[in-house]
A and B are shown apart, each in its own frame.
Chain A
Amino acid sequence: MAAFSYQRATSLDDALAALANGDTKVIAGGMSLLPLMKLRLASPGTLVDIGRLSELKGIRPTADGGLEIGALATYADILASTSLPIAIECISRIGDIQVRNRGTVGGSISHADPASDLPALGLALDYSVVLRSSRGERSVPLDGFFEGAFQTGIQADEILVKMVRGPLPAGALGSYQKMEHPASGYSIVGVAAVVASSAGRVTHARVALTGVGEVAYRAKAVEAALLGSDGSSAAVAAAAEHATDGQTVNGDIHANRDYRARMAVVYTRRAIEAALGR
């Protein structure tokens, strides 16, 4: 690890001021940043630790029936507070117990590893991120926030302070299905599916994939095919065939392009079927 300076932020404004100095990265749980620094893939001159800023912690319902998650909420915090099966299925398979105790939501989203699971979950649940800088605060939907591998729409002087979503559609059901690599546990393909039906027709569909392309993405062609369909196994199978439409599928030593693309379809079908309780 290259040498670096370390300072602990006493407040959010203190952390924002430190960012203005340049060559400075925010650190919280460190579960993604520290491994990168050990591999010398990242070598910030200064780390500003926001891990004790209580204003960034907490998971709270919002007035409209949605949910607000502070950037410093850990994976373990979410598991302890959620009753959403899709969140439990997704987060309980992230990393291991130690990673889940330290890794934060804000860290995972702003790090934007193309194979990390939380971005897909966030996309399927229609989360937005709230970014704070000395210029003020802005809210950005996750759909469009992930710009490339390890790149998001966050500006150099901004800190992600929380994630927010509105209420889920009535009767929404979800599932997270993951094909994990046996060595790293990372998703070769990970799919988050949220579906709601009314009078025998699908009225709401969100299908988000990770591990497949440069970024986690919503498979909008799958969603469009599901909407208005009868949600039968045949309809789900036909919709799932669009899982990688418009995507450049990754190929690497763990899964070549053809295999990964085919598994994206298979796991999309499984996630939707599991969401529908089948």
Chain B
Amino acid sequence: MDLVRYVAVDDVGNKINPMIVDGQLHGGIAQGVGQALWEGAVYSDEGQLLTGSMLDYALPKASFFPNFELDETVTPSPVNPLGVKGVGEAGAIASTAAVANAVVDALSGHGIRHLDMPYNAQKVWSAIQSAKGGQA
């Protein structure tokens, strides 16, 4: 699964340090996309954690991502003198859902309307095979 393009428009009110705002968005987006595409703790039927090391549990890496296209609206917060809002969660909240919707949209042609994360290649391939009536 390749993330080819990611566009985000955020409103964090007045920005005190725009570079830090971008950094927060980059990190949050990476984390949220990672949850959708790569991260997954796998347990055996006996409850043994199988993805017990970084060799098995896939964290997102910078090389997995395109450059993010970030844009903004600016609506100053009315409830504090600086008009600022928090940005720490903005990237992470939207990205997981956006990727999930994109994957299911891509699979909708096969009649697939839901798939659990993470959307690794085997899971997507199996869903397509099942939908085609072939072996899962």
A interface residues, Cβ below 8 angstroms from B: 179, 181-184, 186, 253-256, 258-259, 262
Contacts and interface: CB of A to CB of B under 8 A. Distances in A.
Contacts of A253: 42, 50-51, 56
B77 interface: no
Interface residues of B, number: 18
Interface stretch (B12-20, B57-65, B67-75, B89-97): B57-65
Interface string B38-50: 1000100000001
Contact of A183 (B50, B54, B135): B54
A89 B133 CA distance: 36
11 contacts: A179-B121, A182-B38, A182-B58, A183-B55, A183-B57, A183-B58, A184-B55, A254-B56, A254-B122, A258-B135, A258-B136
A183 B122 contact: no
B126 A183 contact: no
Given A182-B61, A184-B56, 19 more contacts: A181-B58, A182-B38, A182-B58, A182-B64, A183-B51, A183-B54, A183-B56, A183-B57, A183-B59, A184-B55, A253-B42, A253-B50, A253-B56, A255-B122, A258-B135, A258-B136, A259-B122, A259-B126, A262-B125
Contacts of B42: 253
Nearest to A39: B53
Contacts of B126: 259
A253 B42 CA distance: 8
